[in-house]
Amino acid sequence: MPPRPLSRPLFLLLLVTGLFTFLIQSGELGTSDTTHRLQVTHSLWTGQPQVSPNEYPEFGLHGRGGRLYAWYGIGQSLLMLPADLLGSAAAHLPIWRVYVSSGEDPAIRSILVSISTNIFVNILTALVAFRLLGLLGFSEGESVAGVLSLLCATTHLHYAQNMTENNYILLLTITGFVLQYRWLTTGNGRALFWGSAALGLNLLTRLTTILDILGAGCFILLAALFSRYDTQRANDQPGTAPDATRKVPALSTLGTYLRGALPVYAVLLVIDRIYQYIRFGSWTNTYVAYFAREQRMADPTLPANFPFNRGLFEGGLNSGVLGPFFMPEKSVFLFDPIFPLALLLTVLLWKRQSPAMRAFAVATLGMLAAYVLFYARYNWWAGDFAWGDRYISSAVELTTLLAIPLLLRYRRILGPAVWYLGLTITGISVVIQCTSLAFWVPLEIYQMETFGHPTWVVFLRFKNIAAFALHKRAAWGLDTFAMFQDSWDAAHITTWNFLPSLLRHIGAAPLWAVHVLYGVWAAATLVLLLVSARLIRVLKHPAPKGRAADLAQPIPG
């Protein structure tokens, strides 16, 4: 008899993920970038323009026929298409006709799009991350802890509320890693095809995700090479436990891998190029070339290599190379404290890790370094209006995936000092990510216009939370002129960034509807607590072997 769903750790993990993702939603899309991408989604099936004329020159580029086009890839717009169809239909229901006619935000369409898409992406991310950790040899309990640390102890949590492309890119990248590694260990050609398709889909979102493709390729190649090396050592140590990839010849797999992956990447790259040609009439350029041209027309003083006009170390600690690590406004050590823990554990446990784990660590750290170097010359290398450095956040999150599973597995070997240090850092990381949800992200950015630089944004967020809770914002000098220049922005950064609070603060929704939402949120919180307790109990008292084989079940395709 198969185990009941409530006895399966994977089912409970996915349920927990869906519940807490629902609870952190604000109903808004989070950034103007995603709002513009949703307009592109809408244009795909309504015939509306991608960019309204009144948005130019702040947004949009002139393309073929002099029409205005969005400058992003189409990936996230395609992701939101089903939710946009549903949200647009729901917006015409009589039950909220008065609210829709008020024109207030959050709009019904954006509420449904943001909540459904964020939950969908987060649940799938939990699934594929769980599978990856299982394939790398971690137990169910270690895998569950690793997934929850990824979702709740990194900037991934912030972007599950504020829907930029980051989490979608990470989902496709982890999926690619999982399926391509399955191919390496089993020879399953379909796994290689679908893994390559997942990585290739990222090209439709952001062309720089070619670095994710290279990272996955490095992971596969290094896993094979490290396995061969360990096999040779194991010949002298017959008692050594075999690794799955030891059955696979190392360099001989490269040709097969390239023959299976490259055609898939090529097809998806061609699709991206077709979209580029439809908009701008070019097969080879990216939107950056057209953006630079129009910016130089508006400001002839801009350098010829704009927007990649910064020196690698221009600005010292605020440069594109050092800034992601040491700039108080963007430092990965402040926004993702679990990252240095991952580095420490990788070093301390290097010889104890399997070849695949070591390959994963090297490949992901290499991918992070490549992202830092690529964006170092970009004029807005830090990602502008974002929590941390959003251009490298997905790569940083990926490097942290093994940290908590390794900490749990080697707790006794590491000793109490490292164990308690790891727990402390993890707790701090979770608290920091939770504070990122409290207010809409531009709050501190507006305050910095008055406070100047450097500003320790993470600590300022704690101060903002305390001031708002104690009604001391004005007394503590946290109300600045820039915060209130735009009435829409002011309304969104002066309340808790959760849907019931935002609707109550805006004041357009009926009060009864707000009270119902508070009740729904309270009920979801209670269910989350009960399911979390059940998950802990199941992990403490696992089912007998053979009854809960979540890790052994293959991924479809």
Question: 442-469: per-residue pLDDT in tens?
Answer: 999 999 989 988 999 999 999 999 999 9
Q: Please state the rounded mean pLDDT for residues 474-478.
A: 92
| CA dist., res. 161 & res. 163, Å (int) | 6
Looking at residue 131, its pLDDT comes to 97
Q: The tokens of 284 are what?
A: 């080879």
Looking at residue 227, its pLDDT comes to 83
Return the beta strands (E) in 373-477 as ranges.
Answer: none
- Please determine, for residue 288, whether its predicted confidence score (pLDDT) is greater than 90: no
Q: The tokens of 433 are what?
A: 């990510």
> Does residue 377 belong to any structural domain of this protein?
yes
Higher pLDDT, 521 or 544: 521
Task: Answer yes or no: are the C-beta atoms of 393 and 446 closer than 8 Å.
Answer: no
> Does residue 540 belong to any structural domain of this protein?
no
| CA dist., res. 307 & res. 301, Å (int) | 12
> Does residue 503 belong to any structural domain of this protein?
no
> Does residue 474 belong to any structural domain of this protein?
no
Looking at residue 548, its pLDDT comes to 43
Domain span at residue 332 reads: 5-438
- The per-residue pLDDT of the chain, averaged, comes to 90
Per residue in 173-186, pLDDT (tens digit) is: 999 999 999 999 99
Q: Please state the rounded mean pLDDT for residues 333-346.
A: 96
Which of the residue ranges 84-88, 99-103, 125-129 would you say has the lowest mean pLDDT? 99-103
Which of the residue ranges 137-146, 245-254, 259-268, 506-515 would you say has the lowest mean pLDDT? 245-254
- Please determine, for residue 549, whether its predicted confidence score (pLDDT) is greater than 50: no
Looking at residue 545, its pLDDT comes to 58
Task: Answer yes or no: are the C-beta atoms of 133 and 396 closer than 8 Å.
Answer: no
Task: Answer yes or no: are the C-beta atoms of 100 and 91 closer than 8 Å.
Answer: yes
| CA dist., res. 421 & res. 124, Å (int) | 30
Higher pLDDT, 340 or 491: 340
Work out the pLDDT band at 238, boundaries 50, 70, 90: low
| Share of residues in the chain with pLDDT > 70 (%) | 93
- Please determine, for residue 360, whether its predicted confidence score (pLDDT) is greater than 60: yes
> Does residue 405 belong to any structural domain of this protein?
yes
Q: Please state the rounded mean pLDDT for residues 475-484.
A: 91
Q: Please state the rounded mean pLDDT for residues 515-538.
A: 96
Into how many domains does the chain fold?
1
Task: Answer yes or no: are the C-beta atoms of 557 and 178 closer than 8 Å.
Answer: no
- Please determine, for residue 508, whether its predicted confidence score (pLDDT) is greater than 90: no
Predicted TM-score of the model (pTM): 0.92
Work out the pLDDT band at 270, boundaries 50, 70, 90: very high
Using CA atoms, how far residue 299 sits from 60, 86, 294, 305, 306, in Å, is: 16, 42, 9, 13, 11
> Does residue 466 belong to any structural domain of this protein?
no
> Does residue 288 belong to any structural domain of this protein?
yes
The number of helix segments (H) and strand segments (E) in the chain equals 26, 2
> Does residue 507 belong to any structural domain of this protein?
no
- Please determine, for residue 140, whether its predicted confidence score (pLDDT) is greater than 80: yes
Residue 297 buriedness (CB in 10 A; 0-12 / 13-18 / 19+): exposed
Looking at residue 220, its pLDDT comes to 94
Looking at residue 298, its pLDDT comes to 84
